[in-house]
């Protein structure tokens, strides 16, 4: 069973529209395992929902690394979830992990199409900000803020080694000011880089 999925509408300034009502439909976006989505995929948001659509009974039948969910509703742009893995057996244990953070230097300015430098290091954290060395789930990197409408390429999924995953071949193909990258892993709190710029090649 997929953990609870929540979707909310936003305006042009990315602020939540708490008065939104309407029917939201969720489906599989990226489908690396050729899976099928089971459960009630349509949710009708009523005034009492505060603008949030919620699903608690969704599941995907085939394992695969890098599934995403897509939410659609009439008159608004689609929403795409962060990537997540579906395993054949029980999900990897969290081993006390509560969140992800970036350590070491972060990028400031990078040319479009060039490898993002220095390599991005993601740390798996537990309570009190202590590094969790036993976490064995996948860690994904995706674009958070995307001012240029760019595409991220390179190795986007790694398993942490002793609590750290190092992404060394990431690239963004389109110039823009204020990109961020987002690290996610299962049900733990994501981490985000500081904003950085991608310049024209």
Residue 5 has pLDDT above 90, yes or no: yes
Across 81-96, average pLDDT: 87
Q: Alpha-carbon torsion 32, 170, 94, 98, what sign? A: negative
- What is the DSSP pairing of strand 79-80 with strand 5-8? unpaired
For residue 66, what are the contacts with CB-CB under 8 A and spacing of at least 6?
30, 32, 83, 84, 85, 140, 156, 157
- What is the rounded CA–CA span in Å between residue 15 and residue 51? 12
Residue 201 has pLDDT above 90, yes or no: no
Q: Residues 53-84: pLDDT tens digits?
A: 999 999 999 999 999 999 999 999 999 999 99
In contact, 93 and 140? CB cutoff 8 Å: no
Q: Rounded mean pLDDT of the chain?
A: 94
pTM of the model: 0.84
Q: Residues 122-174: pLDDT tens digits?
A: 999 999 899 999 998 899 999 999 999 999 999 999 999 999 999 999 999 99
Architecture of the domain made up of 99-199:
Sandwich (2.60)
Q: Which two tokens stand for residue 15?
A: 């602020």
- What is the DSSP pairing of strand 196-199 with strand 109-111? parallel
């Amino acid at each position: 069973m997929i953990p609870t999925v929540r979707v909310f509408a936003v305006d042009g300034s990315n602020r939540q529209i708490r008065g939104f009502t309407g029917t939201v439909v969720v489906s599989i976006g990226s489908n690396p395992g050729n899976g099928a989505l089971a459960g009630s995929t349509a949710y009708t948001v009523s005034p009492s929902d505060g603008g949030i659509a919620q699903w608690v009974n969704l599941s995907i039948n085939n394992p695969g690394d890098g599934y995403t969910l897509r939410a659609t509703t009439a008159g608004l742009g689609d929403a795409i979830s962060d990537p997540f893995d579906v395993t054949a057996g029980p999900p990897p244990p969290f081993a006390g992990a509560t969140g992800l953070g970036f350590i070491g230097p972060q990028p400031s300015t990078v040319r479009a199409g060039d490898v993002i430098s220095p390599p991005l290091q993601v740390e798996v954290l537990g309570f009190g900000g202590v590094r969790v060395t036993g976490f064995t789930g996948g860690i994904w990197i995706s674009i958070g803020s995307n001012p240029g409408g760019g595409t991220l390429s390179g190795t986007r999924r790694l398993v942490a080694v002793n609590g750290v995953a190092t992404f060394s071949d990431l690239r963004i193909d389109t110039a823009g000011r204020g990109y961020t990258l987002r690290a996610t892993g299962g049900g733990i709190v994501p981490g985000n880089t500081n904003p950085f710029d991608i310049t024209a090649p």
